[in-house]
Amino acid sequence: MISYRQPGTVLTDHTFTVPLDHAKPGGEQIQVFAREVVAADKASDDLPWLVFFQGGPGFGSPRPAGREAWLDRALDDYRVLLLDQRGTASSSPVNRRTLGLAGLGSAQAQADYIALFRADSIVADAELIRQEVTGGKPWSILGQSFGGFCAVCYLSQAPGGLREAFITGGLPGLDVTADDVYRATYPKVARRNAEHYDRYPMDVPRAKDIARRLAAGDVRLPNGAPLTVETFQTFGQMLGASTGSHTLHYLLEEPFEGGDLSDYFLHEAGSRVSFSAGPLYALVHEACYGQGAPTNWAAQRVRAEFPEFDAALDSDAPLLFTGEMIYPWMFDNDPVLRPLAEAGEILAQREWPRLYDVERLRANEVPAAAAVYFEDMYVPVEFSVPTARTIRGLRPWVTNEYEHDGLRVSNG
């Protein structure tokens, strides 16, 4: 363990060894990293533990700089553990290089390996880590977005390990499919587009001009990947954040230079569409909705039911940006995903075990509370509210005061 200080905090880095496959505890092992954070003036106090489950899936925990955002409030009462979920950040990573180095030469072997990185495995990791950190005492958990999915899985899988559970923007539908999720979210994304263009009407022609240039062909991002109209449309993922519409507007403000797309625009675009920071996200995003039947590229299939998202560049209709959706063509375009395209296809056809035990949730005895964002573009309120009603004793707070990133922007 390594300890060090930041303004107002003491941090300690931990690395834990866990089974790759919890059904085979004596088999291959991987590393899971977690960063302990405690208020400097409470570093020697016997505080309860709060474990943070990051959104995603496929991204590491926040890298704090002192007491900031929700962490500032949490440190008043807890010793916080920022967990890099398996496969992310400083934990044993999953990407095109590590899968090759692990000797997983076939796409099937890669897919079987990646299938072990869903919420159920993350919860099993946390239970092993809890034994080491608390000596077996229950701890508290906070799950944001996908982290909330992990929290509900935790309540289903190992409630005896929990002292209490907090969830923000992450109450999943217990019986919904990936198809259900996208049928609910595409109309929400369309409304966000309309709100954005109402706020910034000058962006209507700007977005169309960019799309027309991309449709003409051969625009490359700094990493060599093609920037297509469909890729450009994925910028809409930022519309679900509190300041996302403004960020998108500024990105569209001066896209051209000397008659073509500027280097600045292409740089900013590349940073937003590349999966280099989290390839696991593309591989298991739809799987986090998987409940039995294969997801079979649900976002792509369901999109056909919403033809308004097809780029009609010769019409007066505004270009519609898409949202938090993964499409199979991304694996052809992005260099970090291209070597994993076949594995991605196998995962899309995989039948996934159920993540949530509805009967156990109905009998829940763990104190729990959840913030449900009424305008959430990513986690539909129409699925979250029934889940809140199902989990016995859970106290929901349904609000339109915040967007999906309310935990980050509300300062706890």
The alpha carbon torsion through 267, 270, 272, 274 (nearest 10 deg) reads -150
114, 284 Cβ separation under 8 angstroms: yes
Q: Is 145 among the catalytic positions?
A: yes
Alpha helices in 297-405 (DSSP H): 298-303, 330-333, 341-348, 358-362, 381-390
95, 40 Cβ separation under 8 angstroms: no
Q: How far apart are CA 35 and CA 52, in angstroms?
A: 10
Catalytic hit among 61, 84, 404, 405: 404
Q: Is 112 among the catalytic positions?
A: no
- 3-state SS assignment for residue 297: coil
* Distance from the Cα of residue 251 to its chain's centroid: 23
Catalytic hit among 145, 245, 274, 384: 145
Catalytic hit among 274, 376, 384, 405: 376
Q: How far apart are CA 32 and CA 49, in angstroms?
A: 17
The alpha carbon torsion through 37, 39, 43, 46 (nearest 10 deg) reads -90
Residue 393 gets the label, from left (phi > 0), alpha (psi -120 to 50) or beta, of left
Radius of gyration of the chain (CA): 21
Strand-pairing partners, residue 17, are 31
DSSP annotation of 216 reads T
- 3-state SS assignment for residue 192: helix
Strand-pairing partners, residue 162, are 139
Length of the chain counted residue by residue: 412
Q: Is 245 among the catalytic positions?
A: no
Q: How far apart are CA 354 and CA 143, in angstroms?
A: 19
Residue written as token pair 């097809």: 310
Residue 103 gets the label, from left (phi > 0), alpha (psi -120 to 50) or beta, of left
- Nearest partner of 151 among 324, 295, 356, 351, judged by Cα: 356
Q: How far apart are CA 405 and CA 144, in angstroms?
A: 9
Burial class (CB in 10 A: 0-12, 13-18, 19+), 249: middle
* Distance from the Cα of residue 68 to its chain's centroid: 21
Catalytic residues: 145, 376, 404
